[in-house]
Structure 1
Amino acid sequence: MKFDPWNAEFIAYPYDAYRDLRDNDPVSFFEPTGQWLIARHADVNALLRDRRLGRSYLHVATHEAFGREPEPEFQEPFWRVIRAGMLDVEPPVHTRLRRLVSKAFTPRMVESLRPRVRKIATELTAGLVERGGGDLLAEVAEPLPVTVIAEMLGVPEADRHLLRPWSADICGMYELNPSPEVQHTAVRAAAEFAGYLRELARARRDRPGDDMISALAQVVDDGDRLTEDELIGTCVLLLNAGHEATVNATGSGWWALFRNPGELERLRADPGLMPTAVEELLRYDTPAQMFERWVLEDVEVGGVTIPRGTEIALLFGSANRDPEVFADPDRLDLGRADNPHISFGAGIHFCLGAPLARVEMAESFGALLGLAPRLELAEEPAWKPSYIMRGLESLKVTV
């Protein structure tokens, strides 16, 4: 099978196509999206750190100068929210935003959340066990990170049901060639989420609480602070990036364990493997299969010159199965010690929430292994039709 991100069979198992690209065409132009596909780990890793590439080009050129059509006017509310966060901007704006947000989102703060994450994971798992099984994705994997992020931001419990649909709709815009319907849905979700957060942020500025929105509203560095739009864009990013990939990684991680029962038994017998197991599950079935960058200056990759103004697609899923870096890459090895996977990216855009994702996955898997020692797959799952944010529709299990 060739690279075909709209094909259900490819989405379910893209790794044979990736192997073909790495072996025969590691730097190739993909006509349907007008992107250069980069398949090898060394190239993907280097380009993530290369400042001749950017998540955006708008800090150095107009759409017209890059030979691009301006974004449709109806998308303006979406991009106003997204570009107020740090993911889709470049230095110096990115540097400033990351510095300010990092003052509130510290590793110590994340580690302090572990007992609460463990409690939530335990309660969700206990409910699944009490019901005799169900959809592990909907009943454990999804509510855990949503609850953690909602509590962290200070979103009232009564409003938390709004978050997951908003996030899923916004992320639809990041798929390859999204349909007009998906685009309009993403714009509506971004506008609604921004409006909701604006009211919440204003209330917290006046009456700060012990939550991330209050902390972000109070952060000051040499007199600099986040604007209201930047605070809102940051909160949207924290929700979307903070749970969408974690949900998918948890679902595909369990699916990988069910397909590799020897490794599942190994983890059950030795819970001390959990740190390396989490890293291996992130490598083995990468939740974000592709990340895109714009070429700001001509670059040469594998002997191919990629010109300024074009877009490259960094194939994380392929890089994480590269035999030049990973011994026996198609084998799941929960004790894999040398594991430089790039599921969290690299360079200045390395995922700020990586420590939280690791805590959530470790506590989620730990609770399920402890409280549901006979957890079994009830039926083979199906993959959602999305490629970039790749994940299962559901994961039915018995306990």
Structure 2
Amino acid sequence: MTNVIHDRRAPEGTERFSKRHDFDADGQDDFDAAHELFADLRARCPVAHSNDMEGFWMLTRYEDIDQAMSDPTLYSTAVQNVVPRVATTGRRPPLHLDPPEHTPYRKAIAPLFRKERMRHWDKVVREISDRLFQDLPAKGKADICADFSYHLPIHVLAEFFMISEEDAMRIRSIGQAFNLALQTKDFSEIQKHSLVLYEIAQAIIDDRKKTPRDPGSDPASALLAARDAEGNPLPDQGILGTIRQLLVVGIIAPTTFLGSAAVHFCRHPEHFQLLKDTPERTADITEELLRLYTPYRGFARTPTRDVEIGGEKICRDEPIALCFTSANRDEAVFECPHEFRLDREDSRPAIAFGRGPHRCAGEPIGRLMIEAALESWAKYCDGFISDGPTPMTTWPEYGPVSVPVRFR
């Protein structure tokens, strides 16, 4: 297995082949701008092309995205897995591989999220969430992202990898720098910080080789104990890439999504009251918020041959962004898609954690973090009032990176 991702950017000094330009992807959005753009594209140009970020296609309709995720032989994730292209330092299974090559990595980590294991995490994550949030309302104001939602996944990460708080804080610091480089599209900085994360991942693996732990609860030990279809150990570079992927994959999305949820509650205090009054509906509220504010707009696939989608010809190896954020507000699937409704009878489930062979393996703990956060909010305060601007993340995520609030 190679540890190099071939960079197909056009050489400096050459002109990229210019396609039609249906929308601008670059630039900072306000909170609603992305949804306004996607609604416009669904209506006039559901299979759209942008010349930004090296050029890419984007699918905005639910059905098109669902079909692309369901056929890994035609739509590969091994060439480019997000828009913009940021992975240049190595393959990071299972996301960067197609079946069947990705399958042993999925099988190795899947038991870490089984129902029995999640019963353990249920208590741990809720205790972390309460500890991080309970003292904030007394201060009168806070930044929901900077003071809470950015810390929550880091503390969960430390427990998940069985690493020290000090090491977790180091990952947080590097992750913050990595995210800043991603926002500014500073690819040299992205690569620099990514390599440091590889060093941290290697240190975790080296420790587990010396002192193995229970493969049913420790990610590195699970990967070291795993075997492929022929009974061989997984290659060292594949294990390294998987640990590197797991270290940061769950940091940005929970931060931005919980920021979006806080903005929603600022705008709709009646929905926060509903959260307080009906704690038994927290899971339903989580699901509807995930549909409305899905934090992924740039997961990518690359066709292995020329394809036609919605009347548009897309050539082999041209990147396609699967815009979950748009799919979950598709008028053809969801009635009154921009409204928060808990009485939905839509026949199709929202695409929040993906679909098919690359559905997010960590979905159970991701949902748990969100539900725990909402429960902490409802337990310790009466709601939020917006107290400043909410700057947004850029591709491939969607959501605010800062949500200043005053507490009701």
Q: Report Cα offsets for 1:122-150 as digits up to 9, x if no partner.
A: 11111213433322212221111111112
Counterpart check, 1:41 vs 2:34:
no
Secondary structure of residue in 1 paired with 2:172: helix
Aligned residue number for residue 77 of structure 2? 55
- Please identify runs of 4+ aligned residues in structure 1 that moved more than 4 A: 168-175
**C-alpha contact 2:75 2:304 (8 A) present in aligned 1:** yes
**C-alpha contact 1:260 1:332 (8 A) present in aligned 2:** no
Counterpart check, 1:243 vs 2:221:
no
Counterpart check, 1:27 vs 2:47:
yes
**Superposition map of 1:151-170 within 5 A:** 151-170=159-178
Shift of 1:205: 1.6
Q: Which of 225, 228, 232 does residue 233 from structure 2 map onto? A: 225
Aligned residue number for residue 200 of structure 1? 204
Where does structure 1 lack aligned partners over 5 or more consecutive residues? 59-70
Distance (Å, rounded) in 2 between the aligned partners of 1:240 and 1:196: 11
Report how many residues are paired: 375
**Superposition map of 1:7-26 within 5 A:** 7-9=27-29, 12-26=32-46
Distance (Å, rounded) in 2 between the aligned partners of 1:142 and 1:275: 21
Distance (Å, rounded) in 2 between the aligned partners of 1:225 and 1:277: 42
**Superposition map of 1:293-372 within 5 A:** 293-336=301-344, 338=346, 340-372=349-381
**C-alpha contact 1:205 1:218 (8 A) present in aligned 2:** no
Counterpart check, 1:269 vs 2:277:
yes
Q: Residues 114 and 385 of structure 1: is their aligned pair in 2 closer, same or farther, counting only changes over 3 Å?
A: closer
Distance (Å, rounded) in 1 between the aligned partners of 2:355 and 2:250: 17
Aligned residue number for residue 7 of structure 2? none
Shift of 1:174: 6.7
**C-alpha contact 1:56 1:89 (8 A) present in aligned 2:** yes
Secondary structure of residue in 2 paired with 1:14: helix
Q: Which of 92, 97, 100 does residue 108 from structure 2 map onto? A: 100
Distance (Å, rounded) in 2 between the aligned partners of 1:385 and 1:100: 32
Which moves more between the two structures, 160-169 or 38-47? 160-169
Query: Identity of paired residues, percent?
Result: 27
Q: Residues 228 and 38 of structure 1: is their aligned pair in 2 closer, same or farther, counting only changes over 3 Å?
A: same
Secondary structure of residue in 2 paired with 1:317: helix
Where does structure 2 lack aligned partners over 5 or more consecutive residues? 1-21
One-letter identity of the residue aligned with 2:55: G
**C-alpha contact 2:388 2:405 (8 A) present in aligned 1:** no
Shift of 1:44: 1.1
Distance (Å, rounded) in 2 between the aligned partners of 1:347 and 1:4: 29
Q: TM-score, normalised by structure 1?
A: 0.86
Q: Report Cα offsets for 1:251-273 as digits up to 9, x if no partner.
A: 11111122122222222211111
Q: Report Cα offsets for 1:201-243 as digits up to 9, x if no partner.
A: 2112211345333333334467333333222222222232222
Q: Residues 334 and 172 of structure 1: is their aligned pair in 2 closer, same or farther, counting only changes over 3 Å?
A: farther
**C-alpha contact 1:146 1:164 (8 A) present in aligned 2:** yes
Distance (Å, rounded) in 1 between the aligned partners of 2:249 and 2:57: 24
Which moves more between the two structures, 226-235 or 164-173? 164-173
Q: Residues 369 and 107 of structure 1: is their aligned pair in 2 closer, same or farther, counting only changes over 3 Å?
A: same
Secondary structure of residue in 2 paired with 1:127: coil
